Structure formats: structure tokens, C-alpha cells
């Protein structure tokens, strides 16, 4: 059985009674973890690929931050696939981060209602399906059998049956195993109505136990790659931390823009003023509000681990798994910092 190294830095850091005390305890631990991870090896290969752009309610994306004078109902989210190769004691491994099956993910109740209410012409303008997981793998020269692991920072909207299979159909990624925090897996199996609205119906139904690796806490997968439990957006949310030539990249959906992690510098409509009036250093992605206190702490944790961007040190080296992007139909929602694309190292085929 695959063994991963447990990371101890954050144990007990959220136990303080005071909320801001928890923030500072996690920040201190994140600074130490960042230093230790930067002293270690890097991943062999890390690249991002565009999958699909979809609308998302602006009242959720940067929670209530957009100016009322310029507020539009939606913003645009760019969903991506990340392909990572890294060394382990068992040899080179390949991980897909956020391999979204957007053909099936549209059955998520919230987005299903949105599609049913929207004219087809409007859908064709707003939804931009750019590629698929299998097309991207073929393009870069990987075969489905080459994939060792898949992971998602959380399971909102995800249907993973096509990749892992069930009792009726074999998976298209025959050797891949899902890495998921045990709390996220348990939640997805037993949802309340508010959370159920954001999970794809039967998205994990019938997946063989042998295809799922449930982890606890924070783990190091191999050289230059860690999964850090960052609860808030969901109970089992985790962040993917990747060591590259540009430092540490941190990916999750606790925030949907780099602006979310440095809102005082945001040029999106009203965001900086909102952050200043509230005195907040981050703005959460708030569609489900499972635990906004933990989500705030987790975003501070993420941006501290990431450190400053080499592109612009005012912003952290955070790469949201779904990133707010400019779109002409949604004025005022253009981010001031947009990651867009990363590519490091050389793929081993």
C-alpha cells in the first residue's frame, strides 16, 4: 500500500479559543512549513491546461465585495487541469489535479437549474468548453494508464465515475487512485440539502474502495508536492502545494482569484473599498458557507505558504483551481492579477 509522509507543522494550530489567535498560530506554522518545503526538492513537471469557462454568481465568488453600483449577477470562472510529475520512493508518479468531467458535472443541481433557465444562445456565449481531460493527455503524450493519482481540492460539482469506474463500467484511467481527505469523502456520501445543491448527483457512487485513498491531516506525496487540509469552503477541502522554479504554488477554491488573497490591491469593482472597510486580508468564496471562520484561516494559511509572486510581489503565489477571469459580458469583474498559465520542468512520457 502506498505510504505518504505525515506533515506535523499544523497540528493543534486551530485549537485556540480566540478566532484571531487561531489565524496567527496557523500563520506562524505556515511560515515554518514554507521554509522547510523550499529547502527540499522540486517536482519534475507541473503544467496547467484550460478545460472550461463557466458563469458563477458574483455574490458568492468574492463574498458580497463587489460594488452595488456596478454589480453584475455573474462572473466568469476558468476551470483547469493540472498535470504534475514527482519523484517518490516508488519511482516517478503522475498526478492529475482537478480532472473535471465537465460533460457530467453540469448535472450538479445548482448548475442544472441555471442551464434550464438560460436560453441556448446565452449558454453558447457564456459557457466555453475548451478541451477535455483525455484530449489534453493525448496532446502531451500521456496515456490514460500512465496516471497514478487524481485529486480535487474538494468534490463540489465533480463526477469521478468516468475516471475510476463503478460496478457497471471500468474507469478510463485504469491505474489511477483518488486522493481525498476523509472528511470530504464522508461529507459527499451524506449531504444536507444546502450542500447537496453543489455536489454532482451520484458522482462517487459505486466507486471501488480500492480506487480511493482517504487521508487525514496534511501529507507529503513525494518530492516537492504536498496536500494540506484547509477546511472552510468544505469540511474536507485541501490545498495542493507544488515546489517549482518560481517557488511554491498553492491551489484550492477557498478563494476564486488572487485578488481574493490580496483584496486591498484589487481593481475589480468595489473590492478594495470593501476589504478596507471590513479590515479583512482575504475574501472568501462563499457559496456554501460551511465554516467561514475556518475558511478565513485557511486562506491566510494558503497565502502564507505561497509567499510573494515573482510576477508581482504584492500578490501571493496562489493559483485558484477555478480562477476568476475577464469577460466582456460581466463588467467590473476583471481581476487585477491573473495567473492564467504555468509550465515547469519536462514531462516524462
Q: pLDDT, tens digit, for every residue of 282-316? A: 999 999 999 999 999 999 999 999 999 999 999 99
Distance CA 177, CA 150 (A): 6
Joined grid coordinates for residue 13: 494550530
Name the nearest CA neighbour of 254 among 342, 182, 172, 319.
319
pLDDT tens column, 227-286: 999 999 999 999 999 999 999 999 999 999 999 999 999 999 999 999 999 999 999 999
pLDDT digits (tens, 9 = 90+) for 263-273: 999 999 999 99
Q: Rounded distance, CA 157 to CA 155, Å?
A: 6
Q: How many residues does the chain have?
A: 349
Query: β-strands 177-181, 149-151: how paired?
Result: parallel
Please state which architecture CATH assigns to domain 5-331: 4-Layer Sandwich (3.60)
Of 136, 139, 138, 143, the residue nearest 79 (C-alpha): 136
What CA–CA distance (Å, rounded) separates 34 from 39?
9
Q: Write the Ramachandran bin of 274: left for phi over 0, alpha for psi from -120 to 50, otherwise beta.
A: alpha
Flag whether pLDDT at 211 surpasses 90: yes
Whether pLDDT at 1 is above 60: no
Residue 118 confidence class, pLDDT cut points 50, 70, 90? confident
Summarize pLDDT for 57-70 with one digit per residue, the tens: 999 999 989 877 66
d(Cα 309, Cα 324) in Å, to the nearest integer? 18
Q: What DSSP character marks residue 240?
A: E
Q: Tell me, what's the pLDDT at 117? A: 85
Compute CA distances 92 → 29, 88, 286, whole Å. 29, 6, 37
What global pTM score does this model have? Answer: 0.96
For residue 121, name the pLDDT band (cuts at 50, 70, 90).
low
Amino acid at each position: 500500500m502506498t505510504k505518504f509522509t505525515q506533515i506535523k507543522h499544523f497540528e493543534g494550530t486551530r485549537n485556540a479559543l480566540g478566532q484571531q489567535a487561531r489565524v496567527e498560530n496557523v500563520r506562524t506554522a505556515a511560515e515554518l512549513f514554507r521554509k522547510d518545503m523550499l529547502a527540499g526538492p522540486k517536482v519534475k513537471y507541473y503544467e496547467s491546461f484550460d478545460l472550461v469557462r463557466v458563469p458563477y454568481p458574483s455574490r458568492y465568488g468574492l463574498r458580497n465585495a463587489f460594488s452595488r453600483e456596478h454589480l453584475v449577477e455573474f462572473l466568469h470562472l476558468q476551470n483547469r487541469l493540472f498535470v504534475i510529475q514527482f519523484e517518490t520512493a516508488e519511482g516517478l508518479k503522475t498526478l492529475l489535479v482537478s480532472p473535471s468531467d465537465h460533460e457530467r458535472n453540469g448535472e450538479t443541481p445548482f448548475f442544472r437549474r441555471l442551464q434550464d433557465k438560460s436560453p441556448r444562445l446565452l449558454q453558447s456565449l457564456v459557457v466555453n468548453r475548451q478541451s477535455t481531460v483525455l484530449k489534453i493527455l493525448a496532446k502531451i503524450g500521456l496515456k490514460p494508464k500512465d496516471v497514478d493519482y487524481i485529486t480535487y481540492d474538494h468534490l463540489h460539482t465533480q463526477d469521478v465515475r468516468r475516471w475510476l469506474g463503478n460496478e457497471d463500467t471500468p474507469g478510463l484511467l485504469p491505474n489511477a487512485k483518488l486522493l481525498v481527505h476523509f472528511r470530504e469523502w464522508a461529507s459527499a456520501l451524506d449531504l444536507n440539502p444546502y450542500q447537496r445543491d453543489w455536489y454532482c448527483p451520484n458522482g462517487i457512487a459505486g466507486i471501488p474502495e480500492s480506487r480511493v485513498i482517504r487521508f487525514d491531516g496534511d501529507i507529503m506525496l513525494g518530492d516537492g508536492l504536498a496536500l494540506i487540509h484547509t477546511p472552510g469552503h468544505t469540511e474536507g477541502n485541501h490545498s495542493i502545494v507544488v515546489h517549482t522554479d518560481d517557488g511554491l504554488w498553492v491551489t484550492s477554491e477557498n478563494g476564486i482569484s488572487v485578488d481574493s488573497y490580496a483584496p486591498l490591491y484589487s481593481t475589480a469593482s468595489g473590492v478594495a473599498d470593501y476589504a478596507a472597510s471590513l479590515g479583512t486580508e482575504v475574501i472568501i468564496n462563499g457559496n456554501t458557507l460551511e465554516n467561514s471562520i475556518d475558511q478565513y484561516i485557511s486562506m491566510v494559511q494558503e497565502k502564507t505558504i505561497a509567499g510573494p509572486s515573482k510576477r508581482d510581489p504584492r500578490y501571493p503565489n496562489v493559483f485558484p483551481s477555478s480562477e476568476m477571469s475577464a469577460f466582456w459580458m460581466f463588467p467590473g469583474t476583471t481581476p487585477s492579477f491573473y495567473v492564467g498559465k504555468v509550465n515547469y520542468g519536462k514531462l516524462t512520457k
